[in-house]
Structure 1
Amino acid sequence: MKKWILFGLLVLAASAVVADEDTEEPEGPVEAPVCDPEACKLPSCRCSTTQIPGGLAARDIPQLVTVTFDDAVNVINIVNYRRMLFNRRNSNGCPAGATFYVSHEYTNYQAVNELYNNGFEIALHSITHQTPQSYWANATYETLVKEFAEQKSLIAHFANIPYESIKGLRMPFLQMAGDATFKMMANHNLLYDCSWPTITQTDPGLWPYTLDYKSTQPCIVPPCPTSSIPGPWVFPLVAWSDLQNFPCSFVDACFSTPDRNDENGWYEFILTNFERHYKGNRAPFGFFVHEAFLAAYPAVSNALIRFLDMVNSLNDAFMVTSEEVIEWVKNPVTVSEYRQQSCRRYTPTVCRPTSCGPLTAEATGNVYWMQICNVCPRVYPWINNPLGQ
């Protein structure tokens, strides 16, 4: 009886607070309103649209090119990264950029430090990268904090790179988790997510945008965010078209392609997809891939190198990190202004090479060796214990 009396008092109190309201506040998340371009202004807010930021003309803006790699960094793939990416410069003299979405298991943190010290962006791809995919679709806010916000501390510590330099993430399997991902990002100083494919807004391409207002991007791998979540940016994965005009978000996911031993065919295939952006609205062009695909097919890898050589020779196209794309969208400038800007700055860090192991992951019982840049942890770092203490 007492609990029902207490409940009645609470209802009366709540009624007093909203006595002047016609309706009660909706329970749960409130769907974001349709974007108002007059209220949503750069640099902090942008509607989801194919319109060029800043109202600039396509011919006047830089074509930004992002090359990204997913999963663990190790002693094998770092060799290919050195061959393909190191010592490149854009035509404005600035170092060419690329972004690595790093998953934790089997990652060599000395190699991560090397990538950072060569000017590349290090971003998050989860601690566990576990299956099944439904784990990510159903992930709660708390789970995502453990997988990504705590991975930020893990990478910064063991690779000895600045914590604040880690600003982006990509969900495993490109599996969205609804509002939870972006609420986690907003509360843990993460700038952008690059997980959401678009297979319709490709010609012209969809530009990065914020979630202050309702997204117009189709939800390919639900659940997608629906609430108003100011702060984080969506970096859409604008799909390629394969030889049968079917969309593919990752290069290695394209079904109808040239023969994988045909370097010239692959070069033309890459160029055709690039030109859809370059001759269109110049939305960022992404070469999203897993390094294992390039290692398995040297002709494709060589075609990519030829393509990047071409990009580096153009006066109005630039290899950049994912973060640099967001920064340009926030403050869009013309090609001539962009070429005059200072190159991105970073402070190289020291790596004290240390080999650790065997280390047991307490949650799974699996045993690992780790290559890191400081003192060995007590156990293998994992979810709920990102520093292995």
Structure 2
Amino acid sequence: MKWFVFVLSLCSLAIAREFQLAETCDKEACQLPDCRCSSTDIPGGLLPRNTPQFVVITFDDAITVSNINTYRDVLYNRRNSNGCPAGVTFYVNHEYTDYTLVNELYNQRFEIALHSISHKTSQTYWSRATYDDMMREFGDQRIQMAHFANIPFDTMRGVRIPFLQMTGNMSHQVMADVGLLYDGTWPTIKYADPGLWPYTLDYASIQDCMVPPCPTASIPKSWIKPMICWFDLNNVPCAMVDSCFHVPDGEDDEGWFRFILKNFERHYHGTRAPFGFYIHEWYLRANSGVKRALIRFLDLVNSLNDVFMVNSGEVIDWVRNPVPVNEYIRQGCKPFNPTSCPISTCGPLRATHNNMNYWMNICNVCPRVYPWLGNPLGQ
């Protein structure tokens, strides 16, 4: 209950707050670990050959019995060349999610991040979202995810807004107020080669605004992890792999492997900005050649001594404290504490927003009604 009081108090404060327009970045004042100007410069002034090449695989949307087998086939039991478990980020929305499987993914040491409670299909809803809307979608979802999946509250540090629809300043202010670290929503074409490194919103961003409205306010310590676009076979940019138009046939694993490698090498042979493979699971399930090519690519990544498959939050951690690749290898693996999942199968649960019945698998006691906006725990 104290979390609801806390959230409501934040909402009241935010309504009265006026956003301060961000100024051009002052490099002398903006210093790591908590501030970084938007820039293609490698953090810490490192040379490319001394910089770890991070590969970030992300999946969006609900975690279900329909997609968990793909994750088990492609991602489980991978390790980087330094011996540490390979990282992946799942941006999870609430509706239809099996929280027992979220717990399973967490216990594989993958990152669980937020993708909203409602995942409403109206982009206008997201583009015009208020502070209160975003608090209910993301501030409350963090509470919801921790409760139903039985995972630590503070391990959820990132956000991706549905349809990559920016909300101006609102989502970032919510993130700052509830202690979320980074946003992974914002694509860039202009800064794809060389790539744009993660930065904070203390000062004005140089990043191109592909899906407005983009943030304009000074919001200290709110990190942006840019989605550096790929380029398809006709050199057309695409933020998500499954949105690329001119691509090899879905069964052509050799063609897809070369396609992935071409986009990867632009990073690896350049300034080594993080390389993202952003996708929805259905695309791998529907195109077996893409799935085989991804497995082959990840096998390559896991064999290279200067390339590391990590989650989005780990990229931000490195940018805040950049070290050369030889030192990064010696840092060792992060400690991890698994969590249990006392499984409950719940339903039918009536949803007040659409009058439908839902069933849920959770790691907790069953809620009274189907959880939704304004009632994230279904009390």
TM-score range, shorter chain: over 0.9
CA RMSD of the aligned region, Å?
A: 0.8
How far, CA to CA, are the matches of 1:369 and 1:331 in structure 2?
A: 44
Aligned to 1:221: 211
The runs of 5 or more residues in structure 2 that have no matched partner are 1-16
Q: SS in structure 2 opposite 1:207?
A: coil
How far, CA to CA, are the matches of 1:270 and 1:215 in structure 2?
A: 29
Q: SS in structure 2 opposite 1:370?
A: strand
The 5-angstrom pairing of residues 92-241 of structure 1 reads 92-241=82-231
Which amino acid in 2 is paired with 1:159? A
Aligned to 1:74: 64
Q: Deviations along 1:173-210, whole A, 9 cap, x unmatched? A: 00000011110000001000000000110010000000
Q: SS in structure 1 opposite 2:345?
A: strand
The 5-angstrom pairing of residues 303-342 of structure 1 reads 303-342=293-332
Q: Does 1:264 align with 2:254?
A: yes
* Structure index of larger Rg: 1
How far, CA to CA, are the matches of 1:344 and 1:305 in structure 2?
A: 25
Shift of residue 342 of structure 1?
A: 2.1
Aligned to 1:357: 347
Q: Does 1:293 align with 2:293?
A: no
How far, CA to CA, are the matches of 1:336 and 1:63 in structure 2?
A: 12
Aligned to 1:19: none
Shift of residue 42 of structure 1?
A: 0.6
Which amino acid in 2 is paired with 1:106? Y
Q: Deviations along 1:198-235, whole A, 9 cap, x unmatched? A: 01100100000000000000111000000110011000
How far, CA to CA, are the matches of 2:300 and 2:23 in structure 1?
A: 43
The runs of 5 or more residues in structure 1 that have no matched partner are 1-26
Aligned to 2:12: none
Shift of residue 28 of structure 1?
A: 4.5
Q: SS in structure 1 opposite 2:87?
A: coil
Q: 2:238 aligns with which of 248, 257, 270?
A: 248
Aligned to 2:8: none
How far, CA to CA, are the matches of 2:340 and 2:247 in structure 1?
A: 43
How far, CA to CA, are the matches of 1:146 and 1:307 in structure 2?
A: 38
Q: Does 1:387 align with 2:353?
A: no
Aligned to 1:29: 19
Q: Which moved more, 1:206-215 or 1:356-365?
A: 356-365
Q: SS in structure 2 opposite 1:375?
A: coil
How far, CA to CA, are the matches of 1:110 and 1:28 in structure 2?
A: 41
Shift of residue 300 of structure 1?
A: 0.2
Q: SS in structure 2 opposite 1:232?
A: strand
Q: SS in structure 2 opposite 1:268?
A: helix
Shift of residue 346 of structure 1?
A: 2.1
How far, CA to CA, are the matches of 1:46 and 1:345 in structure 2?
A: 27
How far, CA to CA, are the matches of 2:246 and 2:203 in structure 1?
A: 36
How far, CA to CA, are the matches of 1:231 and 1:387 in structure 2?
A: 29
Q: Deviations along 1:49-80, whole A, 9 cap, x unmatched? A: 00000000000011000000000000121111
The 5-angstrom pairing of residues 47-86 of structure 1 reads 47-86=37-76
Which amino acid in 2 is paired with 1:174? L
Which amino acid in 2 is paired with 1:69? F
Which amino acid in 2 is paired with 1:303? A
How far, CA to CA, are the matches of 1:94 and 1:295 in structure 2?
A: 28
Identity fraction in percent: 61
Shift of residue 136 of structure 1?
A: 0.3
Q: SS in structure 2 opposite 1:66?
A: strand
How far, CA to CA, are the matches of 1:89 and 1:151 in structure 2?
A: 30
Q: SS in structure 2 opposite 1:352?
A: coil
Q: SS in structure 1 opposite 2:359?
A: strand
State how many pairs are aligned: 363
Q: Deviations along 1:3-32, whole A, 9 cap, x unmatched? A: xxxxxxxxxxxxxxxxxxxxxxxx943321
Which amino acid in 2 is paired with 1:217? Q
Shift of residue 314 of structure 1?
A: 0.1
Q: SS in structure 2 opposite 1:64?
A: strand
Q: 2:34 aligns with which of 22, 25, 44?
A: 44
How far, CA to CA, are the matches of 1:374 and 1:182 in structure 2?
A: 30
Shift of residue 260 of structure 1?
A: 1.2
How far, CA to CA, are the matches of 1:180 and 1:366 in structure 2?
A: 30
What TM-score do you get using the length of structure 2 for normalisation?
0.95
Q: Deviations along 1:284-320, whole A, 9 cap, x unmatched? A: 0000000000000011001000000000000000000
Which amino acid in 2 is paired with 1:107? T
